[in-house]
């Protein structure tokens, strides 16, 4: 998407030598919009007549198990791949996820994992490989912190838990942009509930355009004189 000034206006800043296209989203491509509406409104996991947009079989477990925190792991232990798998959740479904830090490439570090659209409870954390038999015994189910970002410790793990009560496509990713671009991200599709108040709203048939010019906005943003500030806060 290239962001340009409104029709009939000029750049409020020197025009760039070139414009780089940044893919922000595809919400207005008919296929994706149809897929989202179908998955959320009808509860169907498989899209119809829109091509291979996504698969609803995001795995509950890693594709392979190994000693995640071992030193000097072979370079081909875990290779990233492109994928379009998502996890489809029922409305009000309770979700628990464990994030396991690894030492692949001998370069383990902490990762801040952030979830859009929900907050979650951090019910446990530890160092080393997560043990599904013993580690849950130490979960804090009394007063766990409620956050929207959790740090996956270096060569360790956290466990989060939340209620999927906000319908829509919810993105979860590492907050290091470089790691996000490498593929440290995934998405949930939370289905609609049984009432309009628990469901996504339909897109508006008409959205009135902005009337202020880009130049007017730039003045309000960058002119901090008393007169301009008073105008800005009255608007």
In this predicted model, what pLDDT tens digit does every residue of 55-104 receive, in sequence order?
888 888 888 888 988 888 887 777 767 778 889 999 999 999 999 998 88
Q: Which two tokens stand for residue 176?
A: 């290091």
For the chain, what percent of residues have pLDDT higher than 70? 66
pLDDT at 120 over 90: yes
Residue-level pLDDT at 8: 56
- Cα separation of 219 and 209, whole Å? 20
Are 159 and 98 a contacting pair, CB within 8 Å?
yes
Residue-level pLDDT at 17: 54
Q: What CATH number labels 2-229?
A: 2.60.40.420
Residue-level pLDDT at 179: 86
């Amino acid at each position: 998407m290239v962001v340009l000034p409104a029709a009939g206006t000029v750049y409020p800043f020197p025009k760039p030598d070139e414009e780089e296209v940044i893919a922000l989203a595809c919400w207005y491509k008919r296929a994706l919009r149809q897929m989202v509406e179908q998955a959320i409104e009808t509860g169907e996991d498989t899209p119809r007549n829109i091509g291979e947009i996504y698969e609803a079989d995001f795995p509950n477990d890693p594709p392979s198990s190994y000693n995640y925190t071992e030193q000097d792991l072979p370079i081909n232990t875990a290779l990233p791949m492109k994928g379009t798998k998502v996890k489809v959740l029922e409305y009000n479904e309770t979700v628990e996820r464990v994030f396991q830090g690894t030492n692949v490439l001998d370069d383990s570090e902490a990762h801040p994992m952030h979830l859009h659209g929900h907050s979650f409870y951090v019910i446990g954390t530890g160092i080393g490989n997560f043990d599904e038999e013993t580690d849950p015994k130490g979960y804090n189910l009394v007063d766990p912190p409620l956050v929207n970002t959790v740090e996956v410790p270096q060569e360790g793990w956290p466990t989060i838990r939340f209620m999927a009560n906000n319908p829509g496509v919810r993105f979860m990713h590492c907050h290091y942009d470089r790691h996000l671009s490498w593929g440290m991200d995934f998405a949930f599709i939370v289905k609609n509930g049984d009432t309009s108040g628990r469901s996504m709203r339909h897109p508006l048939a008409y959205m009135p355009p902005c009337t202020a010019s880009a130049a007017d906005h730039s003045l309000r943003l960058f002119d901090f004189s008393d007169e301009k500030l008073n105008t800005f806060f009255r608007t």
